[in-house]
Amino acid sequence: GAGVSQSPSNKVTEKGKDVELRCDPISGHTALYWYRQSLGQGLEFLIYFQGNSAPDKSGLPSDRFSAERTGGSVSTLTIQRTQQEDSAVYLCASSLMPSPDEQFFGPGTRLTVL
């Protein structure tokens, strides 16, 4: 079956531009998570969507970061006015049940801000 997919796989942008990253979770999974991973580092939690509940946005590093999940499925992470320190791999994951449950990760979007 299809796993979690993310697009684009790579994104190079100029400092100050806005970017949108997309995540398609596994069909039927109720929970969706965004993380970012800098080179050689662990995963940094960004945001968690669960069903129709208010998302846990406690990991968003600044108000330049926002995320939506439309129709309980596809999610978009938007970074406005990108900075060089935003360069990282952005990983999306989904789980069938609410956390804590096994999370299935997508391949990630590698973002490079020049």
Partner 1 sequence: GQNIDQPTEMTATEGAIVQINCTYQTSGFNGLFWYQQHAGEAPTFLSYNVLDGLEEKGRFSSFLSRSKGYSYLLLKELQMKDSASYLCASVSGGYNKLIFGAGTRLAVHP
**Residue 59 contacts partner 1 per CB under 8 A:** yes
Q: Which range binds partner 1 by CB under 8 A, 17-25, 44-52, 63-71, 72-80?
A: 44-52
How does DSSP classify residue 106?
A: -
Residues 69, 65: Cα–Cα separation, whole Å: 14
How does DSSP classify residue 56?
A: B
Which residues in 2-41 contact partner 1 (CB under 8 A)? 33, 35, 40-41
Provide the 3-class DSSP secondary structure of residue 85. Answer: helix
Least distance (Å) between residue 71 CB and partner 1: 21
Asked if 27 contacts 5 with a C-beta cutoff of 8 angstroms, the reply is no
Binding positions for partner 1, rule: CB under 8 A: 33, 35, 40-45, 48, 50, 56, 58-59, 91, 98-100, 102-108
